[in-house]
Amino acid sequence: MDNRLKKTMYFMVSLWSILLLLSFGSNIIFPFIFSFFISLVLLPVVNLFERWGANKLFSILIVVLSITSVFLALTYLAGAESYQLVERFTDKELKGDTQVIDIIDNSTERISNNLNVSNDQVKSAIKTVLASSKGVVIYLLNSLKDTLAFLAIMPIYVFFMLYYRSNLIDFIKSIPTTDTNKTKLSVIRKIKKMTQKYLQGLLIVILVVSILNSISLLSFSIDYAIFIGFITALMTVIPYIGIFFGALIPITLALVTKDSLFYPIGVLISYVVIQSIEGNFITPKIVGESINLNPLIIIMGMIIFGALGGVIGMIVCIPSLASIKIALDHSSKYKHFSILMSHKIK
């Protein structure tokens, strides 16, 4: 009994220590984890250059610089489109125009008639929602600031992880455990394979969802449909709820720019349909088999990782949990925890 109590206390102290470490060091730890997963995805490309005869340093430099250049180009294009979108509603010629105000007034009046409530009550409800959204907006802006700061240094992390990858293998081999080096290398290979399949599948999901979103928005004549469709598709990195938060952008734009509720309601319905297709068919088929995690573990992980690491924490949540599950699968002592995390039902 005393031995069990000691083990339980040791487990609780270890768990709280890890959570405290993640909480206070999240700005360092989560970007480091994200860079590790990115380096796993880029590793096959680096190995390909090395097989073609390029030395190790040149291979890593060309791959990291190429990916960084592509990312900077996409960031520039996204920034330019965002600037035009903002400028569309801050143009000097429109500042004195009451068109937007009239549309909002007409929309609130229509809502009040449909719901049989006063127009003032509808406007009051809108003000309440906007006021309560202030904290969420501030949180997202702070997370975005931290994310951009990390993305600036990420290429350096990735470069050194790829350059010193053999040191990591030797370090894992030298860890004193009951597992053999063969078992340790098997875990590393499975984590690498899982990460590569998951992130590659996620990119395919984002591409497919961005096409579906863009077609939907184009059908409702929403401004900047392709750009907004791609941006909202990026929200799929947050499972189950991401695309709903992304839908707020085109719905709000439809409310402001269109003179009928048909457009925002149509956008909402189309995004619900796309979410259903993505959640039930696209993601399980492309990504689901590579992670084998049940939804409850994913949701709990998203809450914890999001609270500790913000946007970056939520992005690394699924591959981190899947990596933990792989490690537990190969542990004779803690394999039973892997059963709880599994998506398979017997």
Tens-digit pLDDT profile for residues 285-302:
776 666 778 778 888 888
pLDDT of 241 higher than 50: yes
Residues 6+ apart with CB under 8 A from 110: 261
- The type of residue at 331 is S
pLDDT of 94 higher than 50: no
Distance of CA 298 to the CA centre of its chain: 12
Q: What is the pLDDT of residue 246?
A: 75
pLDDT of 326 higher than 50: yes
Percent above pLDDT 90 for the chain: 3
168-220: pLDDT as tens digits: 878 777 777 666 777 777 888 888 888 888 888 888 888 888 899 899 888 88
Enumerate the domain spans of the chain. Answer: 2-341
111-164: pLDDT as tens digits: 555 455 566 665 566 556 555 545 555 555 555 566 666 677 888 889 998 988
What is d(CA 52, CA 231) in angstroms, rounded to the nearest whole number?
37
**Look-up of token digits 């069990």:** 4
Average pLDDT, the chain: 75
pLDDT of 107 higher than 70: no
Distance set, CA 82 to CA 79, 87, 89, 223, 231 (Å)? 5, 8, 11, 12, 10
Q: What is the pLDDT of residue 62?
A: 92
pLDDT band at 97; cut points 50, 70, 90: very low
pLDDT of 337 higher than 50: yes
Residue (of 296, 302, 303, 300) closest to 342 by Cα position: 296
- Separation of first and last alpha carbons in the chain: 33
Average pLDDT over residues 254-276: 81
Burial environment of residue 180 by CB neighbours within 10 A (0 to 12, 13 to 18, 19 or more): exposed
What is d(CA 55, CA 52) in angstroms, rounded to the nearest whole number?
9
What is d(CA 298, CA 318) in angstroms, rounded to the nearest whole number?
7
12-62: pLDDT as tens digits: 777 677 766 666 666 778 788 888 888 888 888 999 998 888 888 999 999
Burial environment of residue 221 by CB neighbours within 10 A (0 to 12, 13 to 18, 19 or more): exposed
Q: What is the pLDDT of residue 61?
A: 92
